[in-house]
């Protein structure tokens, strides 16, 4: 695993944005795997700035997001589709038809998982996947469990995730109890992965990653098996 240590959140955001921009320059029609949450917000803001300065264009890019709450409407301001429009898609020249987020309104979430998985395969996999990490070690919404699912699927959110994400909602009981998420296998179809981590509350999660074990009860440890992962983190995560 490559490690890029940054002095603060702003530097982490810029370093990650530069990795994404370099990927687009190398392959303008690349497939980007994208994440939501607090961690990548600054990176998206930097990518929007780079686009406005003419440093990067998303014209030929296709995106696939990791996950979406289930059920949720795309117009709901807590949906991940809404987040992506607000933080990136509405401000750059990406063709919205080429942006993909699991459909939180799908009548049949199992069929939606299958459709999404087929889409990722049809795109030839992901060139660069951006990940964050949950305090409980989840990546996407692959929550700690005795086994992990490879393909995109519907999953129950753990109490830890519900309480961590309650900060975005009026109260914890408004957080959806389920989500559609890429599986570990879908994430591993990415040729390159950047894992962004910021803040002392993620310290324990990162140390577990460094133990170099693979533990389904700490899904991020699976990243130890991937050949091209770059951890872009703030220094306080490693103290």
Q: Is 143 a catalytic residue?
A: yes
CB 83 within 8 A of CB 149: no
- From 87, 112, 138, 142, active-site residue: 138
In angstroms, give the least distance from the CB of 166 to ligand F6R. Answer: 12
Q: Does 35 bind ligand F6R (CB under 6 A)?
A: yes
Q: Is 138 a catalytic residue?
A: yes
Q: Does 132 bind ligand F6R (CB under 6 A)?
A: yes
Task: Judge if the upstream peptide bond of residue 71 is cis by omega within 30 degrees of 0.
Answer: yes
Q: x/- binding map, residues 65-94, to ligand F6R, per CB under 6 A?
A: -xx---------------------------
Q: Is 8 a catalytic residue?
A: no
Among 87, 138, 153, 189, binds ligand F6R (CB under 6 A): 138
CB 136 within 8 A of CB 143: yes
> Which part of the chain contacts ligand F6R (CB under 6 A), choosing from 14-22, 30-38, 151-159, 215-223?
30-38
Q: Does 36 bind ligand F6R (CB under 6 A)?
A: yes
Q: Does 134 bind ligand F6R (CB under 6 A)?
A: yes
Q: Quote the CA–CA distance of 201 and 207 in Å, as a whole number.
A: 12
Q: Is 215 a catalytic residue?
A: no
- Which residue, 31 or 133, has its beta carbon nearer to ligand F6R? 133
- Residue nearest to ligand F6R as judged by C-beta position: 132
Q: Quote the CA–CA distance of 239 and 219 in Å, as a whole number.
A: 22
Q: Does 139 bind ligand F6R (CB under 6 A)?
A: yes
> Which part of the chain contacts ligand F6R (CB under 6 A), choosing from 49-57, 128-136, 216-224, 226-234?
128-136
Q: Bridge-partner residues for 5, per DSSP?
A: 233
Among 38, 57, 76, 85, binds ligand F6R (CB under 6 A): 38
> Which part of the chain contacts ligand F6R (CB under 6 A), choosing from 99-107, 129-137, 144-152, 205-213?
129-137
- Which residue, 89 or 141, has its beta carbon nearer to ligand F6R? 141
Residues designated as active site: 67, 136, 138, 143
Q: Which parts of this chain interact with ligand F6R (CB under 6 A)?
A: 35-39, 66-67, 132-134, 138-141
């Amino acid at each position: 695993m490559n490690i890029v240590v940054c002095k603060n959140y702003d530097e982490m955001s810029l370093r990650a944005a530069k990795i994404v921009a370099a990927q687009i320059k190398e392959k303008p029609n690349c497939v980007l795997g994208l994440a939501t949450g607090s961690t990548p917000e600054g990176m998206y803001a930097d990518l929007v700035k780079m686009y406005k300065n003419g440093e990067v264009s998303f014209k030929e890019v296709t995106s696939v997001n990791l996950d979406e709450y289930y059920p949720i409407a795309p117009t709901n301001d807590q949906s991940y589709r809404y987040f992506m429009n607000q933080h990136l898609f509405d401000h750059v020249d990406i063709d919205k038809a080429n942006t993909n987020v699991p459909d939180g309104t799908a009548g049949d979430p199992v069929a939606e998982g299958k459709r999404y998985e087929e889409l990722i395969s049809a795109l030839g996999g992901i060139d660069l996947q951006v990940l964050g990490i949950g305090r409980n070690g989840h990546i996407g919404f692959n929550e700690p469990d005795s086994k992990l699912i490879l393909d995109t699927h519907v999953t129950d959110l753990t109490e830890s995730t519900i309480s961590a994400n309650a900060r975005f909602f009026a109260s914890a009981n408004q957080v959806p109890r389920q989500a559609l998420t890429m599986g570990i296998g879908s994430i591993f179809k990415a040729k390159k992965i950047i894992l962004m981590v910021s803040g002392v509350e993620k310290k324990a999660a990162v140390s577990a990653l460094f133990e170099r074990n693979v533990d389904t009860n700490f899904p991020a440890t699976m990243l130890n098996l991937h050949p091209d992962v770059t951890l872009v983190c703030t220094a306080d995560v490693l103290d």
